[in-house]
A and B are shown apart, each in its own frame.
Chain A
Amino acid sequence: MKHSRLLLAVALICTWFSPVAHSTSCYLIGDSVAANVASAFPQCGNDTQPGLTTADAVTRYASLPSVQLTIIALGRDDSNPSYASLMKLRKQIHSPHVMWILPPEQDKKLLVESVAILFKDKITNK
């Protein structure tokens, strides 16, 4: 029993640190910023839409692929991003690792960051 647990732990560690797993297990979603970033990481899958609002994102990303890392950029193209929509979207993401690319505007940044903190997600562009 102890031996099988050890094997499982080793397998999980290998999966996470394996370059193959990293290179094939990321997915970018969101607005024009996400689209720009996605083009720099062709090894990741993506579904982006310039001009995407947070409300529309909830519908668009109702079903997402199972990946290790999901990267989200939302808010920049949305004149009135919604906290409720961001929360709803986040609950639809089941990746073990999630990273938010914060929007540049301070008020939007705080909004997105508050969701990220709640879920203990990573953030960029702070």
Chain B
Amino acid sequence: MEFQIHRSNVLIGEGDPLTGDRLFAEDVASNDIVILDGVVVKNRYGSVTPLGTISNSQRIHIDYPLVSISEKPLEPEVEYIVSPEMRVIDIRHMSDVSDETDTSPDVTIDSQGIISVDLDNGDDGLYKTDEIEKLIDKLQWALDAVRELEDRNLIG
């Protein structure tokens, strides 16, 4: 597993990831991070932009990439998951992925490198940007550790 994450060069897809976003497959191969079915992103100028206002398939550069909100789990057969150079970020409601006693945001990276971010402490459909930022920082830190462990080849 190899992580190639930068804070730019991010492809943002919106709409149904099982249909329209499939058209992005070629673009995805040249991007490190793909944002799916998102609600908000914080762009390079610091403003928060509803993804719905960005036209489909538009690629923009942002300093703050990994923001995506999805109420349904990623479908495993989606083509864009397969590239080892990219990471798909999937933020879900807690009710989909976690137990109800866990009230803290949670980030997990599975063996395919797919990252799931579980947010349960905001109102449905409303997410706090600062919380997402904290999650991203935490995630980035963990990814740095994973990458270093892999580089050193200490874990088979």
Please indicate whether A and B come from the same complex rather than being unrelated chains.
yes
* B30 CB–A CB distance under 8 Å: no
Which residues of the partner chain A approach B53 to less than 8 Å between Cβ atoms? none
Question: Which chain A residues lie closer than 8 Å to B138 at the CB level?
Answer: 32-33, 36, 76
Set of chain B residues within 8 Å of A97, measured between Cβ atoms: 154
Q: Does B48 contact A (CB under 8 A)?
A: no
Q: Interface digits, B97-116 against A, CB 8 Å rule (1 contact, 0 not)? A: 00000001011111101000
Chain B hits for A73, CB < 8 A: 145
Give the contacts of A38-77 with B (CB-CB under 8 A).
Answer: 39-44, 50-51, 69, 71, 73, 76
Is A33 in contact with B142, judged by CB distance below 8 angstroms?
Answer: yes
Q: Known A32-B138, A42-B111, A50-B104; judge A37-B154 contact (CB<8 A).
A: no
Residue count of chain B within 8 Å CB distance of chain A:
24
Q: Tell me whether chain A's interface is mostly helix, strand or loop, or mixed.
A: mixed
Known contacts A36-B139, A125-B141, A125-B145; 4 additional CB pairs below 8 A are A22-B154, A40-B1, A40-B113, A71-B149
Interface residues of B (CB under 8 A from A): 1, 104, 106-111, 113, 137-139, 141-146, 148-149, 152, 154-156
